[in-house]
Structure 1
Amino acid sequence: MPDLFSPFRLKDVTLRNRIVMSPMTMHRSVDGKVGDYHVMLYGSRAAGGFGLVFPEQIAITPEGRTTVGCAGLWNDDQIEGLARVTSIIKEMGGVPAIQLGHTGRKGSEQKPWEGKLQLPPDHPHGWQLKAPSAISYGGRYTYPVEEMTVDEISDVHRAYAAAAKRALEAGFEWLEMHFAHGYLGASFFSPLANQRTDHYGGNFDNRLRYHLEALDAVRAVWPERLPLTMRLGSDDLHPAGVQFDEAVAAVARMKEHGLDLADLSIGFNTDEMTDPPFARMAFMVERGARVKREIGIPVGVSWNLGLPAVADQVIRDELIDLVFLGRPALSNPHWPVWAARELAHQDPFSLVPEDWGWWLRNFRAHEACIGWPVPGASPLLETEARPA
């Protein structure tokens, strides 16, 4: 029976445990390049015991960013910084993963702490938004959106492939495509955002075409020995949007096109959701278990899995394969070590580098002096709020 600390193998990659640091955008990049801050942030999480470590979503084009502070991989100059990130993650015992994405109609924003309002195309830090259809998201996303041409869709698929090649050169060993949270991939799948009348819109097959072509483009350049996964917007929580039954069928089709694992999340193609579940513990697990059971593909989910006992149980029950942690990973860089102590793991300090673990293992009698939390007390944020 697996548990939270069991190794997990996918293709030629083996994770030391089932704990994943989810991508979270830091808005700290300049011209799409990551720097010392990112090396510190992701290296510390690998040192803290996370098995798989994602930097933030990496944009495949300048217009695919959320803000001008987002990281990218649309040119070769951006490889060096990401190579530093992959190097430190590997040195600390983790596996470096990359999430490639395009924000579509939810881009051209201010940084969150500056107001997070959408900027007009003529603003120095703004750009013209593109999407499946000329439909603005609404709410704070107010500026006009242009419908993508078929040639522009092909350009995006080529950009995914080019970024995947650079990701391999930078040393990443796991590639995920971000097709959730209202971004470009998610909007192609959703009738709320996609009202095209050509072969990219309308019925299920047409709305899924963008995903399959993008997967094919990346699979052609990404080595078969390395995992190719997708964060899928699997439910819009709206009667006119994506329904979960469609997502199950979509994963089955994508598996035929080389998808190795499904990372399931919410579509977020509208703010007008029916009965939002975001305050409920582990609410995506049941959906993930269904995909795992019916499609026969490994599954990971996030959302409110920050309690070690809950995260461990969903793995022990073989409902999902990987636990994705966002805000808990930011709150506690040693969440895996803390979880191992909470769960009475026989050697929690085996999760950190050997030299570090030696010091902690040999001075456990002085926990009050070195500041380790006692069982039942932690700075962990037990739930994750809904992302923007």
Structure 2
Amino acid sequence: MLENKHVTVFVTGGIAVYKAADLVRKFIKAGAIVRVAMTKSATEFVQPLTFQILSRNEVYTDTFDEKEPENVSHIHLADWTELAVIVPATANIIGKMANGIADDMVSTTLMATTAPRLIVPAMNSNMLANPATQLNLEKLESFGYTVMEPDTGFLAEGYEGKGRLPEPDKIVEKAHLLLLEKASDLPLKGKKVIISAGGTIERIDPVRYITNDSSGKMGHRLAEQARDLGADVILVTASKLEHPFGVTVRPVSSAREMQAAIMSDFDDATIIIMAAAVSDYRPKNQADKKMKKASQDIQILLEENPDILATMGQQKTHQFLIGFAAETNDVEKYATDKLKRKNADMIVANDVSKEHAGFNKDTNEVIIFQPNKEAIHIETDTKENIAKHILLEALYSMKL
């Protein structure tokens, strides 16, 4: 959502200004085009040149410094802005915004800005708790502005308290979600998408289990892309990867746990993507204590796990069902057979024996199979781009 977005970072005078410099860099890394406006107090902490170099744009500090006769600078900047981020938002700028005071470049531009506004307070905990500050924050939220909760931790004053500026990565995530919330033209807006990820685990005893090599990367990238298309995403994951922000994550371990987590939202889902590598079998008897080494070979009796994809294929009414087929040979044969047997709407197949594709890789190469359609071969690409291809193809087939 931040790709090519016009983001203006409004920097005010608090010790956390040094984090605002890193924030500008992270917005640019996320694809945004960034401009910076600073109060006079902010320039006492960090020179405008720092932000000019980072953003590669002129920094706005003076309302009356009109370098372009054809533009009124604060109105031009306000009109250019597609997302306003006020960071660190001091008690002073919060009070000005809440009460309509416009007496410098930052407050005047914010008064004229109609874009979404993300306010990130950072100040001493007593200043934050002051009733005037709290009343002003409530007013700003009633105006439709978004206020990000400050962190609790070690403050500049030398003691613990609430009022620390959140880390820049978290602010970028919050900005991303704010733009998603405000967007009205996303194809999956208001639709529920369930995605499974990772390799399930079937316990033999408390310290041993049966699993596979799936990392969960493909499922997690699909969750991120579905989120960015506006979906309400439920990620049912057996992976140890970091959870994507902005999605509902349901950690599971076994195939039966995964089935229960998916089926609890099955009826309301628009799209279900089974990207997980689900164990076909589980030990029939799971020991409750560690099995000790024997002096002879042992046998572990396995029983079949539920076939989650096939069960959903039998029960689906309106859901668009996507399965994955990780193969090492005869990819087309096994994928088309799976498409039919599971009653799926799409099977995404890949040859996991290839060096650049499959488990634990950051890249993939897949073939998309659908009933009565030509197969679509997606050449080697990042799993992020592959995920985007899969979802766009599903949207096209569903005519959403």
Same fold (TM over 0.5): no
TM-score (normalizing by structure 2): 0.30
TM-score (normalizing by structure 1): 0.30
Larger Rg, first or second structure (1 or 2): 2
